[in-house]
Amino acid sequence: MPFCPAFLVAAPASGQGKTTVTAALARLHTRLGRTVRVFKCGPDFLDPQIHAVASGYSCHNLDVWMCGDADIDWRLAEAARTADLILIEGVMGIFDGAPPVAEFAARRSLPILAVIDGSGMSGSFGAIAYGLRHYRPETPLAAVFANRLGSAYHAELIEKSLPPDIAWHGYLPRDIDCAMPERHLGLLPAAEIGGLAQRIDRMAAHLETTAAAELPAPVEFTDAPAPIFSRTLKGKTIAIARDAAFCFLYPANIDCLKRLGANLTYFSPLAASRLPSCDAVWLPGGYPELHGHALAANRGFWHDLARHVDTGKPLLAECGGMMTLFESLVTTGREEFTLGGLLPGKVIMRSKLSGLGMQEARLPEGIVRGHAFHYSRAETPLEPLTISTRPDGSAGETIYRRQRITASYMHLYFPSNPEGVARLFS
What positions carry a catalytic annotation? Answer: 319
Closest residue by Cα to residue 8 from 34, 36, 30, 41 = 41
Classify each residue of 353-388 as buried b or exposed e, where b means 16 or more C-beta atoms within 10 Å of its C-beta: ebbeebbbbebebbebbbbbbbbbebebeeeebeeb
Long-range contacts of 392-401 (CB under 8 A, 24+ apart): 396/355, 396/357, 396/359, 396/360, 396/372, 397/355, 397/359, 397/372, 399/361, 399/363, 400/322, 400/343
Please provide the DSSP assignment of 105-129 as one string. Answer: HHHTTPPEEEEEE-TT-SHHHHHHH
Q: How many angstroms separate the CA atoms of 396 and 393, rounded?
A: 9
The C-alpha angle with vertex 377 and arms to 374 and 378, in degrees rounded to 5, equals 125
C-alpha dihedral (363, 367, 369, 375), degrees to nearest 10: 10
| Sign of the Cα pseudo-torsion (75, 76, 77, 80, in order) | positive
Residue 283's nearest CA partner among 269, 303, 271 is 269
